[in-house]
Every structure is written in C-alpha cells, then in structure tokens.
Structure 1
Amino acid sequence: MSFLSATLSRVKPSPTIAITTKAQELAAKGRDIIALSAGEPDFDTPENIRDAAKAAIDAGKTRYTAPDGIPELKQAICDKLLRDNTLNYTPAQVSVGTGGKQTLYNALMATLNPGDEVVVPAPYWVSYPDMVLLAGGTPVPVAATLENDFKLTADALEAAITPKTKWFIFNSPSNPTGAGYTRDELKALTDVLIRHPHVWVMSDDMYEHLTFDGFRFCTPAEVEPGLYDRTLTCNGVSKAYAMTGWRIGYAAGPEPLIAAMRKIQSQSTSNPCSVSQWAAVEALNGPQDYIAEHNKVFVRRRDLVVAALNAMPGITCPTPEGAFYVYPSIAGCIGKTSAGGTEVTDDETFATALLEETGVAVVFGAAFGLSPNFRVSYATSDDALTEACARITTFCAGLR
C-alpha cells in the first residue's frame, strides 16, 4: 500500500514467530504438532517472583513509573552487574525496557545514521539485522561457521570493520547456536575492538546464566575494561527466571547513550509494566538457586537431543555451551527428496517438509543467516523431545 513507510520494505516479520504461528494454525486444525521453534523456558516463573508481583498489586504499585525504570530496579541491576560481572554502574547508567529487544532497538535508534554499519556475527538472532535496518543502518553479517564451533574469529572481525562501522553486536551464549565464548576467545575479539576506537560494542547477555559443563560466562567490558566507555551491556529476566511474558529487559552503558535511549522510550512506549518491574527486583535480589536446578534439566535435554540428532543420517550437531538451542547442519540432506515428495534444496524446504510431514516445527537456518542448518529449542518436556527426535529420525531415514 502506497501510504506505508518505505522503511517497512527493508524488514521482514520474525521467522521464529512465523513458524510458531504456522504450527499453532496446524494444531488448531487437529494436527499433532510438536513445536521446537520458540525460545521460551517451559518452567513456571518462580514462586517468590510471583509473590512479589502480587504484593506490588496489593500495595497499589500499578501507576506510571519513570520512563526507563523504577529506582529500586535500576539499583538491583547495578548490584547484579557488580556481583556477577565485576562491572560498576550507577542507576543513571541503566535503562529498563519492555523486554530485551526494546533496549537493543532503542540504542540502535538513538545512534544509527544512514550509511552506518553494524557488524553482526552469523548465525544471529533473527531480530538483529532487521532492527539495524529499521534504525537506518546497514547490517554486515560475518560468518561464524561450524568449523569454528559457530564462534567469530578475530581475523573475521578485523576484516569486517570499516570506517563506517558503528556497532559490533555480540551474543554469548548464542541464540541460535548455544555457542559460548571462553575468556580467551572473547579477549581475542576485544583486542581487535581496542584497535578500532570508533566501534561501539553491544553485548547481548540474555543467556548469561544458562551455561553448562562448568563453562564460565564473561562479557566484553569485564574482559577488556578499556571498552567500558563504549560498551552497552544488555540483559533481562526472560530466560534465566522464566519470565518471558513479563517483558523486562535492561541495559547499562555510558550516561549520554542511556539518556538518548530514555528520550526515545519516553516518546514510544514510556515505562515498562510497573508490576513486572517489581517482580524483576525480586528476581535479581532474591534467591538464585533455582537457576542451577533448571540448568540440570536443560543439560539432560541438550544431551538427549544432541545424541539423537548426531545418530540421524545427513545431520551433524555440535554440543553447545549454553542457552537452550542446538543448530545442527543438514548438509548431508541437501539434494534429496522426502518421503512426501518434497525436494530438499535448502534448510527452508527441509523445515517446511518436516513440519508438514511429521508435525515437528523447527526454524530454518537461513532465518539466522547461516545455512544449511536448523534451530531446535529444547526448552520443552523430555517426552516431547523424545517423540520429536523419533519423528525427525524417520523423516531423515526417508530421504532418498
């Protein structure tokens, strides 16, 4: 339609939401669907957090707040960043948004001009490039391949930086691969960034607490203090605390950037939900023991899925360090035809045929910028994962 913004033509709807919607539509028609497409823990929000929200409602804490967060939540975020990441921030350096996505979007909107480039390791979370495009910038995907365990190398980062580069977006553990960077691997990247003082760092730490097998999480400004003044450290309560629907994300960084983000938020959504903010205070300040308990479940599910996928013909699946995703390669399936008659020409046709023929919903790799792969979210029950893997096994065995 001619009255729509030309900017809209630069972006596409979220593929993960599109796949989930299609799976829901098939389920509504009576199909037996197993959805492995949504990045959402299946645990209930812990009771202490729910109780804090109820108490906030009963205390009448249901009115407008400051546009980018109540003082109590900003202080809780500062305390968390110091406790977990040895990063020292003041409340004036903190922005709270309606989910992690809003804080990232606010920062890009506040800083990007036409021609500005944003380096994004691929595979990437589907929203990064489109948010850059909406903000008027140019995403520059850089492949982090299976051969390098889906981690960006220092040489690849160096080669991608130009005089036009404004941001480097970093995500560890990664959505969609679950790959986590060790301190040494991250230090190799920060050494590159130190040599390019015009490049800012946006570190998406959303899966910080979802790490396995003794992996130690670290974040760029922690590894290289010299980047502190040009790093935006982003996080939220969605994944670690099973609070996806509460919609609370946050970021900490230089005061002028936080003030610019606040200006944008004050004219778009204004404050995040007041009740959710009080729940987030309890999440950050309260007991943390259930995170380790949840992670034990995630490790069991990860190992189940990785073992099953690696036993399938044509599929290779590395074992990730964190998050709740795996990103198997289907290179051995390309060029074959499914039992239902679909020629598998790429990962999108693979995922489409898998959904239509077996009822298993996964997200194809092209959506994340690296093919031929697909993403599985194992944040669902063991029974559902076992059945899904059995169906995928049958599907792959039927390829000819």
Structure 2
Amino acid sequence: MAAQHINEWNSKLPQQGVNIFSKMSALAQKHQAINLAQGFPDFPVDPKLVDLVTSAMHHQANQYAPMPGLSLLRERIAEKYRSFYQINIDPEKEITITNGATQAIFTTIATLIHPGDEVIIFEPAYDCYRPTVELFGGKVVEIALAAPHFAVDWQEVADCVTDRTRLIIINNPGNPSCTVWTKEDLLQLQQIVVQHELFVLSDEVYEHLIYDEKQHQSAVLFEDLRAHSFVIASFGKLLHCTGWKLGYTIAPVALTAEFRKVHQQNVFSVNTPMQHAIAAYLDDPNYYHELSLFMQKKRDLVIAGLASSRFEMTPSSGTYFLLLNYKAISDQPEMTFALELIEKQGVALIPLAPFYQNAKEQQTLRLCFAKKEETLLRAIQILNAV
C-alpha cells in the first residue's frame, strides 16, 4: 500500500531527471574516456590551502560558523570589491557565505518567487535555474540566444516583461555560452529592471576567468542595478575546489536580511574550517590577477592544438569552457555525436542542446579546459583525428 501511495505521489518536479553533467561523467567513467564534459579541474588544490584547512581543524575551528559566515572571510570579500571595483560593500549586512553557488541561487529564488511569478532566463542556461523557479511555483520565460555570439536583443527582453515578471536571471561570464557581457548590456538591463521594479539574480561565479584583457561588468558596478540585485560567486571556481561547495551572495541590506531568513532555515551555516582557510589564503590579492592568466594559457593551448582540426571553435571570452562546432564533420544531433565521441573516440564533451528548454540543435559541444596539460594534450590528439 505504501509503495502504491508513493507511485501516485504528485511530484513537484515531474520532468526532472539526472542532469546532463552527471550523465556524461558517468558515461566517461564507463567507457574510460577523457572527461572534458563536467566542469571540474583534474589538478590538485594548492597544498598551502589544504594545509590551512588542516591547521584550522587542529585549532578547533570545527563547530558552527556564524549564520552569515565567518566575519574575516566576509571582510576579505569586501576588500576584494574595494580593490577590484572601487565599490564599498558592508561585510556584516550585505555578504552571506553559502554552501556553494547553487545553494545561493536556490535561496535567492526561494526568497523572491511566489506562485505565478514570472522569471526571465537566457538560454543556453545553467540547469539549476528552471527547476528551482518551478519548485516555488514560478513560471520561466526563456529567451533563446543563438551560437556563436549569443547576443542579447534587449528589445526582446523588454517585450517579455509582464505585470507578473519578478526576476531576471543572468549568468556573466556565461556558462555554457562562454560570453562576457559588455557595459552596454548591463546598462540596458538596468534600464529594464528599474523601469519595471524587477529583481536580478546575477550569477558571476566565473568573474575572475575572463580573457584577452576584457573587464568583468559586475551588477554591483551599476548603482541602480545593484539596488535590485543578488550577486552570486563561488570559491570552488576561484580556488579549483569545486567539491568544497563554498560560495557567497552579495545584496543590499534589506535584500540580504530577507535572504538570510531563508538561508538560516536551509543550511544555517557552512563549513567552518574551510572558511578560516580561505580567509587566510586570500590575504594575497595577487591570486585574483594570476588566475585568469593561468586559465587563459590552457584555453590557448586547446585553441592552438585544434587549429588544424575539423572543429570550428567559438571564441571563449570567459569561464573555463570552449565551444566546438562539428558541422564540417557530421550532421548528427548533438547528443548522438557526443555519445559517439565517448564510445568510439574516448573523449567526453557536453552537447549544447540540453541547455535549452526546447532543444536547439546547433552542432555545438562544450569542452572544459580546466585540466592538466597532459590531459588536454591527449584530448587534442584524439579530437584532431575525428
């Protein structure tokens, strides 16, 4: 009887299955393929950072951290924004440490969205946005952007706003589009947000992975936009420690107060020794400047290595991903071609189509270059032979 009751249960996310990242990583493992699909490094975390975590544990930093996060870590974040952006952020009232960026996204949406509210997202979109909105009874209004440039038509955005619109979610730099929004993009967004009194969730987890001397245009840089925005960042992307699941949210005082009401009922607080370690590690601001150079070398290695291949590469202005178009090789759907690469060639990439609600076939795959040089060179050799 109990099993029958469970089978008849009305799921809140009936269409939700295993996400494309887990699926492709499982297939990579099954076929012993090089995994350039899921976005995580295969090189070690800095031993200094690991030692700092161990030291914090030995010094009894093992009990609950304060609900908003360790004060020293929040001060480090505020220092970064002063140094990089000449912006003052109150570490006590405007910064909250979270259990990774995904929890920050979930909590922001939970804070804002009521049943019937509309949320505008830009596709290709990271896969946690839609189900979280739907979990809280919201309706997603997607704006599909096309490869290779993924340019936003801001008149189309304005036309999508209704009296039910409450939130716009942006991802800058964009995963999987690998694009970086310009100052003009943010000004256009600001105009729409202010005019219609909307909120913005600005997913900026790749803010320090921007290349070719481009500048990150954070939502906090635009005064009126900042007043409406939740800015989300990730230490996992910053420090190559995605499994540690630490991030943070920046929002104005009143919005932060509402965010923390949900945060404390969700996770309350996050890993204490790791907060201590990261706060100590980031006392050197040079790290931020070195990171983009470190990753750009990897990007350029892949671009140079595949220059004579049959893949056409879309320029990657940010993130640690690169998009490859295979139209000169095959007319197969993206998932079919990606599966063949895994099963027959031994390298795993992610198809772009699943990042759209209505699968948009553009013969494009996403490659993660946050890997050791030897991993990338092996993959390049395989892809050049396709």
CA separation of 1:4/1:311 partners in 2, compared to 1, >3 Å: closer, same or farther? farther
Alignment-derived partner of residue 239 in structure 1: 237
Alignment-derived partner of residue 14 in structure 1: 19
Aligned: 1:204 with 2:194: no
> Retained in 2: the 8 A contact 1:105–1:131?
yes
> Retained in 1: the 8 A contact 2:43–2:372?
no
Alignment-derived partner of residue 146 in structure 1: 147
Alignment-derived partner of residue 164 in structure 1: 164
Alignment-derived partner of residue 305 in structure 1: 302
Partner of residue 385 from structure 2, selected from 383, 394, 397: 394
Distance in 2 between residues matched to 1:241 and 1:124, nearest whole Å: 23
Pairwise CA distance, 1:172: 1.5
Identity %: 24
Alignment-derived partner of residue 338 in structure 1: none
Q: Within 5 A, what are the aligned runs for 1:66-77?
A: 66-77=66-77
> Retained in 2: the 8 A contact 1:48–1:282?
no
Superimposed CA distance per residue, residues 145-196 of structure 1 (whole angstroms, 9 cap, x where no aligned partner): 225x223232232233222221111111111122112223332332333322
Partner of residue 321 from structure 2, selected from 318, 325, 340: 325
Q: Within 5 A, what are the aligned runs for 1:249-268?
A: 249-268=247-266
> Retained in 1: the 8 A contact 2:120–2:143?
yes
Superimposed CA distance per residue, residues 188-213 of structure 1 (whole angstroms, 9 cap, x where no aligned partner): 3323333222x211111111111111
Alignment length, in residue pairs?
Answer: 376
Q: Residue type of the partner of 2:382? A: R
CA separation of 1:13/1:138 partners in 2, compared to 1, >3 Å: closer, same or farther? farther
Counterpart secondary structure, 1:264: helix
CA separation of 1:49/1:288 partners in 2, compared to 1, >3 Å: closer, same or farther? farther
> Retained in 1: the 8 A contact 2:27–2:342?
no
Aligned: 1:26 with 2:25: no
> Retained in 2: the 8 A contact 1:115–1:164?
yes
Distance in 2 between residues matched to 1:184 and 1:134, nearest whole Å: 33
Alignment-derived partner of residue 374 in structure 1: 365
Q: Residue type of the partner of 1:196? A: H
Alignment-derived partner of residue 287 in structure 1: 284
Q: Within 5 A, what are the aligned runs for 1:163-202?
A: 163-197=163-197, 199-202=198-201
Distance in 2 between residues matched to 1:332 and 1:193, nearest whole Å: 41
Alignment-derived partner of residue 109 in structure 1: 110
CA separation of 1:274/1:4 partners in 2, compared to 1, >3 Å: closer, same or farther? farther
Q: Residue type of the partner of 1:264? A: V
Q: Residue type of the partner of 1:356? A: E
> Retained in 2: the 8 A contact 1:116–1:137?
yes
Alignment-derived partner of residue 276 in structure 1: 274
CA separation of 1:218/1:260 partners in 2, compared to 1, >3 Å: closer, same or farther? same
Q: Gaps (5+ residues) in structure 1?
A: 28-32, 336-343, 396-400
Query: Normalization by structure 1: what TM-score?
Result: 0.86
Q: Residue type of the partner of 1:58? A: H
Pairwise CA distance, 1:229: 1.8
Alignment-derived partner of residue 155 in structure 1: 155
Pairwise CA distance, 1:102: 0.4
Distance in 1 between residues matched to 2:193 and 2:259, nearest whole Å: 23
Distance in 1 between residues matched to 2:60 and 2:8, nearest whole Å: 43
CA separation of 1:212/1:10 partners in 2, compared to 1, >3 Å: closer, same or farther? same
CA separation of 1:71/1:289 partners in 2, compared to 1, >3 Å: closer, same or farther? closer
Q: Residue type of the partner of 2:368? A: S
Distance in 1 between residues matched to 2:89 and 2:199, nearest whole Å: 17
Alignment-derived partner of residue 3 in structure 2: none
Pairwise CA distance, 1:291: 4.3
Distance in 1 between residues matched to 2:338 and 2:85, nearest whole Å: 38
Alignment-derived partner of residue 375 in structure 2: 384
Counterpart secondary structure, 2:341: helix
Query: Normalization by structure 2: what TM-score?
Result: 0.89
Distance in 1 between residues matched to 2:280 and 2:38, nearest whole Å: 26
Superimposed CA distance per residue, residues 284-335 of structure 1 (whole angstroms, 9 cap, x where no aligned partner): 4x2233444443342232123234556443x432211121101223344553
> Retained in 2: the 8 A contact 1:11–1:134?
no
CA separation of 1:54/1:349 partners in 2, compared to 1, >3 Å: closer, same or farther? same
Counterpart secondary structure, 1:65: coil
Q: Residue type of the partner of 2:144? A: A
Distance in 2 between residues matched to 1:383 and 1:353, nearest whole Å: 23
Distance in 2 between residues matched to 1:99 and 1:209, nearest whole Å: 16
Pairwise CA distance, 1:81: 2.6
Give me the CA root mean square deviation: 2.2
Pairwise CA distance, 1:9: 0.9
